[in-house]
Amino acid sequence: MKRTVLVMMDAYLPGFLAGGPIRSISAMIELLGVDFEWRIVCPDRDLGSDVPYPEVVSDQWTRVGQALVYYASPRTLRPWNLVRLLRGLSYDLLYLNSFFSPRMSLLPVASAYAGLLRRKRILIAPRGEFSPGALAIKAWKKRPYLGMAHLLGLYKKCYWHLSTTLELDDLRAVFDVSEAGASFDARNSFVAQDLVGPTASTTIETSGQESSFRLSVVFLSRISPMKNLDFALRALAHVSAPLVFSVFGPEEDAAYVRYCRELAAGLPANAEVRWCGPVPAAAVVETLSAHDLFLLPTRGENFGHVIVEAWAAGLPVLISDQTPWRGLEQQKGVGWDLPLESPQRFAEVIDQVAAWPEDKRATVAAACRAKAASILHDEDARQSNRRMFEAVLGAPLGG
């Protein structure tokens, strides 16, 4: 009999505004669906939306691929109602797709600690929330909670899904394993790379028509301080080549968006900025393929699905060194990972790409698509995820 994994997350299909986490979970479920039974509890609307999905029925189980999904209404998501829902469900492992999500992570962990839920194994995927860049955002809320969690040992019996060893290092730093181990046990952590679904396998030849006149640079991500669009705009101020910068993504922070638009308005005449809005997940690769260079100076990523999708679209990537994708300049032209100390260095690379001849662009595009294909067909990543779930499910109850 298959064991059941219950996933809690702030958005799931058909939503797309939450970006990579939705793609991570959907790919994991589709690739491991034969090994486990999957259940998902999520809101009945996309991240930040006030309108429920028109095609789903709230507060009932719905089959979505290999999983059964419970699209919870706002009423059901009230704290006590959500706890009551969890108390009535049968599952073997609770998988929390966030650390700081108030409803989908903090509440179930606190409820389990207080004895309001049946004793179950809990596996947490922080999704890059412990990186220095992520912790610096709203640190006034995060740091006190982490201190309290450490003192109480809230997470001592939890398991951890980390996408890379870099994310494991961040976790160790946050919970300070040099101390008495009151809140962290390194034996309960597993490094298993995020899985990539079929969306990133699409291969589209880029035309290069617009790039012969102006370089086409694209940013596609949530417009939030974490993704560092303001840095990208400051870097463009130092670029000499004519370019069009297309910004795709949901606007999460109104004040931050206003700031970025002000920066864009002050750019020199050679740089045109286009504000293009969010893109459904199924259209990401095709959207990216219409450009020449992907720019994402993020403050931190535990994986970065959109980076892989840029490669699938044949685009080299210009990203920060705060992602797992390192040493890109040594990998046959697939991109650059640069420190965030100097916008001028990003500008130099953009000018360099603008000067490429068409045969160079074609060679780079082929290398990028090959890079994406190697990630898409990584059987080791699938097996490491399967082994992680089996290890947690086979561990003694309570950690």
User: Would you tell me how many other CB atoms lie within 10 Å of the CB of residue 268?
Assistant: 10
Amino acid at 382: R
Average pLDDT of the residues in 148-173: 90
Whether 66 shows a pLDDT value over 80: the answer reads yes
DSSP secondary structure, 266-317, as one string? TS-TTEEEEEEE---GGGHHHHHTTSSEEEE--S--SS-HHHHHHHHTT--E
- Based on the domain organization, do 175 and 210 belong to the same domain? no
- Based on the domain organization, do 205 and 126 belong to the same domain? no
Q: How does residue 193 score in pLDDT terms, banded at 50, 70 and 90?
A: very high
Cα separation of 367 and 359, whole Å? 13
Tell me if 130 is assigned to some domain. Answer: yes
Q: What is the pTM of this model?
A: 0.87
Number of domains in the chain: 2
Q: What are 250-260's pLDDT values in tens digits? A: 998 899 999 99
Contact 338, 371 (CB under 8 A): no
- Residue 4 pairs in a beta bridge with 37
State the residue range of the domain holding 282. Answer: 198-376
Count helices and strands in the chain by DSSP H and E runs: 13, 14
- Based on the domain organization, do 176 and 202 belong to the same domain? no
- Based on the domain organization, do 266 and 371 belong to the same domain? yes
| Confidence at residue 184, expressed as pLDDT on a 0 to 100 scale | 58
Tell me if 187 is assigned to some domain. Answer: yes
Q: What are 311-333's pLDDT values in tens digits? A: 999 999 999 999 999 999 988 78
Tell me if 279 is assigned to some domain. Answer: yes
- Based on the domain organization, do 97 and 209 belong to the same domain? no
Whether 183 shows a pLDDT value over 80: the answer reads no
Q: What is the mean pLDDT of the chain?
A: 91
- Based on the domain organization, do 210 and 116 belong to the same domain? no
Whether 383 shows a pLDDT value over 70: the answer reads yes
Residue 31 three-state SS: helix
Indicate which CATH number applies to the domain containing 65: 3.40.50.2000
| Confidence at residue 212, expressed as pLDDT on a 0 to 100 scale | 47
- Based on the domain organization, do 142 and 210 belong to the same domain? no
- Based on the domain organization, do 284 and 169 belong to the same domain? no
